[in-house]
Amino acid sequence: MPNPVFGERTVRGRVARLLTAALVLWLGALLAPASALAHAELIEVSPADGSRVEATPATFSITFNEQVGLESDAVRIVDSTGRQVDLAPEVVAGSMVTQALPPLADGWYLATWTVTSADGHILNQASTFGVGAASDASRAAALALRSSTAPASWVMRFVADLTLLVAVGAAAAWALMSARSQRVQRLRRGSLAIAAIATLAWWVIEAVIGGGAWIHTEASIIGVARGVVLGLAAALATLHRHRLPTLLAAVALVTMVVGGHPGGALITALLLGAHLLAASVWLGAAPALLLMQRDAAVSNDEAHRATKAFSRIATFAILAIFGGGVLLGAQLTDGFAGGLTLYVAILLAKSGLAGAALIGGALARRRLTTPVATQAKQRGALQKLFAVDVAILMVVTGLSAALTLGSPHEGHAAKSGVGYCTIQLPSNEVYLTLNPGRVGENLLLLAEAPAATSLSLEFAQPGVSGALLSDLTSRSAGTDGAAWQGIAILPQVGIWRVTLVISPDRFSEVRGVCTMEILP
């Protein structure tokens, strides 16, 4: 039998090192500026969602805050009966996607589109617009046609994430908490196999939705790698090679840190890594401890010792989840700038569950101080406590999967003028986006600009003399509605006055002005 004192000190030392690393990450997150994360945001739809126009518009257009990828027929316009009415292919001009429209009969129409962000996030959205004397019944029929592929993607992502956390948690329970029983080993092997299958199924669903535009993204490549690593880990686990499958499961967990919203910056990637590691040690290990408590082949002393080790480690893990999760959420949402959005509400729900678990664990820990003679009576109560942890695991994983369907920038970046403005010209409106809309280098995207020999932008701040000049280069030269792009390096936060200078020819000039906010 191993020395219990030595084992306890070893566990405490490991936990202390993990806690120190988490504290360093938290301090770094507090001192680091908010990061710029690539994620397409819907800025404007024309005709606007729910609006009615007297005559058929020439085009249906969607403006984003960055360039997006899409497949053919990614934008679909259908009437209230579900018949597709758009005929021409979509046109991508910088950050704007345009769909030409034929003459439309009076009624309501549903527009749906599927585009892929630079970070691999798929936007599957819809809006409605009416033409002429559109009836309320027609609108209700059009709205009824709305559907989403999000539920299927969420289910597969939920199963994949849940089983991966359980696999890593079972390995942690075996190595750090002495939860060594055949049931724990079977749990580890089974969860690895299910995680591999679910990950690949999620990849197939995303590939079907996003097409080639998604397949070539970093998220797609990482998804394939994660599925392959998990499949190899599951195969080796059936051969009773304990260490290598555990190492591969940890590698698969690391791949969840790369790409997406948090993967856009080092500090958020590190915070997510600590968050996932803590979740595996606490929530992922809970099913293993539950199985051990219910295993008649495990002695009361072994079950009690494993539970005490779990209790010590879980306390620090919950603190890491709670603190790291709040800081990660603050980084991703630019300090919760959008207020209480759905994304923020899900983050708060996750943090609330972690806080409740911390309090419940502190109260339940008193059961572990009972004499050895009463340990047998405590196993039933401990089984219930671990069952609660398993339930929390499922809820937290479900909420985490739901976060992948939303945007952390909802409610502020695209809707409050951050890095975006509309310039009114004598003949039309021009849409300007700066990505990421922060201090430093920004990619300029100008959509719906009229034909011109040259375009430039002047950036100036109120009360500050001088202006910064940025020339633009046409991406579709010489045609109406051309898209232009360029680079601007902005040194200060705050409100900027942007002047668009258009030279239709060598002897004339047209100007338009707008204002936008630049974040740190």
At 60 the three-state DSSP class reads strand
Residues 6 or more apart in contact with residue 299 via CB below 8 angstroms = none
Q: How confident is the model at residue 229 (pLDDT cuts 50, 70, 90)?
A: very high
Tokens of 83: 């018949």
Q: State yes or no: cis peptide before 245, omega within 30 of 0.
A: no
- Please tell me the predicted confidence (pLDDT) of residue 460: 92
Distance CA 184, CA 189 (A): 9
Burial track 139-177 (b if 16+ CB lie within 10 A, e otherwise) = bebbeebeeeeeeebbbbbbbbbbbbbbbbbbbbbbebb
At 121, phi and psi to the nearest 5?
-70, 130
Distance CA 280, CA 271 (A): 14
Residue 476 has pLDDT above 80, yes or no: no
Which residue, 449, 335, 418, is CA-closest to 41? 418
Q: How many CB atoms lie within 10 A of CB 126?
A: 18
Distance CA 335, CA 303 (A): 43
- Note the residue count of the chain: 520
At 451 the three-state DSSP class reads coil
The dihedral built from the CA positions of residue 401, 402, 404 and 405, taken in this order, carries a sign that is positive
User: Chain-wide mean pLDDT for the chain?
Assistant: 77
User: Ranked by mean pLDDT, which of 102-106, 251-255, 356-360, 417-421 comes out on top?
Assistant: 102-106
Distance CA 441, CA 435 (A): 9
Distance CA 511, CA 217 (A): 38
At 268, phi and psi to the nearest 5?
-70, -35
Task: Tell me how far apart the terminal alpha carbons of the chain are, to the nearest angstrom.
Answer: 58
- Please tell me the predicted confidence (pLDDT) of residue 60: 92
- Please tell me the predicted confidence (pLDDT) of residue 264: 55
- Please tell me the predicted confidence (pLDDT) of residue 285: 85
Tokens of 89: 């292919």
Residue range 298-325: average pLDDT? 78
Residue range 326-354: average pLDDT? 75
Q: State yes or no: cis peptide before 436, omega within 30 of 0.
A: yes
- Please tell me the predicted confidence (pLDDT) of residue 9: 47
Instruction: Choose between 207 and 239: higher pLDDT.
Output: 207
Residue 22 has pLDDT above 60, yes or no: no
